[in-house]
Amino acid sequence: MRAIRDSQRLKRIFPVLDWGQRYSHEDLTGDALAAVIVTIMLVPQSLAYALLAGLPAEVGLYASILPLVAYGVFGTSRALAVGPVAVVSLMTASALAPLELASVQQYVAAAGLLALMSGMMLLAMGALRLGLVANFLSHPVIAGFITASGILIAVSQLRHILGISSGGHNLPEMLGGLWNGIATINPATAAIGVAAVSFLFWVRKGAAPFLVARGVSPSLAQTLARVGPVAAVALTTSVTWVLNLPGQGVEVVGAVPGGLPPLGLPQAPWEMIPALALPALLISVIGYVESVSVAQTLAAKRRQRIDPNQELVALGAANLSSGLSGGYPVTGGFARSVVNFDAGARTPAAGVMTAVGLLLAAMLLTPLLYFLPKATLAATIIVAVLSLVDLGVLMRAWRYSRADFAAVFVTIALTLLAGVEIGVGAGVILSLLLFVWKTSRPHVAEVGLVPGSEHFRNILRHQVVTDPAVLTLRIDESLYFANSARMEDLILDRVLQTPQPRHVILMCSAVNEIDLSALEVLEALNDRLRDMGVLLHLSEVKGPVMDRLIGTHFLDHLSGRVHLSQFDAFQALRSGGQMSGVAAR
């Protein structure tokens, strides 16, 4: 038995030992095909995201190699593809910009240190089993942040599309820089940039139908459409080389060092750590939320499950490996993961095969990238991130909840106007504040018996049977320090509004916990009601809550009783009834 438990524990820590034992020829075929397609897709994408982060192009390739291997060993998703993504790249640029580093080497080292710090934070969260952290960030707030980040990213790349010099870390600064540089637009760069953007948008939406209409099978058409960015890279690179466009002011990637990723600790001053601590934490949390959301979505399509806590470990290992191999922070990407899934990836081995393909590209293909226009990479980024922009979330939030709308609107506004770190920080804080605000205002409904049944419903919504001597209130929230006083006020107000009640029954079917502060409030409420000549009863108390109450003096001093069901309590206490409720244990 001990050997079995040890084996299961090892498989939880190293999922590769689980799926690896059952690896089949069919798995190999699916993984290999997916790896080829994803590798072709990731070469231009990795270069583009490094540009977005303000890093040399090869850093994007380095950040896409060992992290895939690390995730393949520790990850629980069969289709998640880890590497540089747009939002994390923007957050990396935002984190490093205030450091005012003097050289590219220092910038790369700082990015590696940021990846190491993020990796250690994620590993610590995994060791503490904090996978539930994703549940504390409301989806509308995260959608608002990603939407605003997508807008910032797209606008930030317009300078590369137009060939002008501008900067800025928020929307007003970026728009101001573009306006000031509009007179210096480089015609050749703009021609390449606009053509690349147009082509990539067409590839995304129209290439597959175009090919299918000409007799290409739907599956092959989809595959060819996904490698459209590679065609854009090849074509614009060839045109730039043949026409010698760098001589006309077109910025190109230039010499990209080939060979293996550099291994070792980044040579960054450790004095940077305090300045990078908060950005590393924000990158870790946002990256994890984005990654686990994608992983859960894809796993559900194949009736598989992921382990959120193990995903923290896997992403931590991926970021550590990135920091130790010349990369920068990484996470699971939506677009590449979907392509990996659709292309037939069956296990994380597809990611390991992709890493091998990217390693070969880093060693053999980098000389071909010299004439690659930065405008093409910018076009790749713009087309990718605009799919993240969802301004419709504002309308959906407004229609459903004004509180959620306020949180989404503030997150988008602060991200656009004040920058990424302030925006995401505000989003996290707002998520928590919304949770506290909502739970601090518990819904307390007066309920009555539905005729011909044993069910109790809100008297304002249904035709129900009530009794003037029995006030029945349903508590629709767990009771804790933030809402217990309000709950007491609501109950006392209802008692004072009810003519001559003799009993108050608190229906606790929705109460999952009563903390010590709420228990003290219930004790005080019991005393106040007794002084008013009213008995306090509880019904449908859940087992774990009852176990806690049994260990206190509350039940000894309770003026009424604890009833097994609301129906039993009402029947026992209504006019003419006898107090014969069954105590719940």
Condensed to tens digits (0 to 9), the pLDDT of residues 260-283 reads 888 998 988 888 899 999 999 989
Query: Concatenated DSSP letters for 397-424?
Result: HHHH-HHHHHHHHHHHHHHHHH-HHHHH
d(CA 239, CA 46): 22
d(CA 503, CA 559): 10
Tokens encoding 189: 């760069």
d(CA 156, CA 381): 10
pLDDT at 188 (0 to 100): 93
Whole-number average pLDDT of the chain: 87
Per-residue pLDDT for 353 more than 60?
yes
**Segment 99-114 mean pLDDT:** 90
d(CA 319, CA 334): 17
Helix (H, G, I), strand (E, B), or coil: what is residue 100?
coil
**472, 447 contact by CB (below 8 A):** yes
Hey, what domains does the chain have and what are their CATH numbers? 50-388 (no CATH), 444-573 (3.30.750.24)
SS3 letters across 329-357: CCEECHHHHHHHHHCCCCCCHHHHHHHHH
Residue type, 493: D
Name the residue with tokens 């890279």.
233
Residue type, 338: V
**Segment 134-151 mean pLDDT:** 79
Which secondary structure element, helix H or strand E, spans residue 547, and what is its range? helix 543-550
Pair type for strands 562-563 and 535-539: parallel
Per-residue pLDDT for 370 more than 60?
yes
| Model pTM above 0.85 | no
Q: What is the pLDDT of residues 243-257, one digit of tens each?
A: 999 999 898 888 888
d(CA 123, CA 109): 21
d(CA 64, CA 362): 10
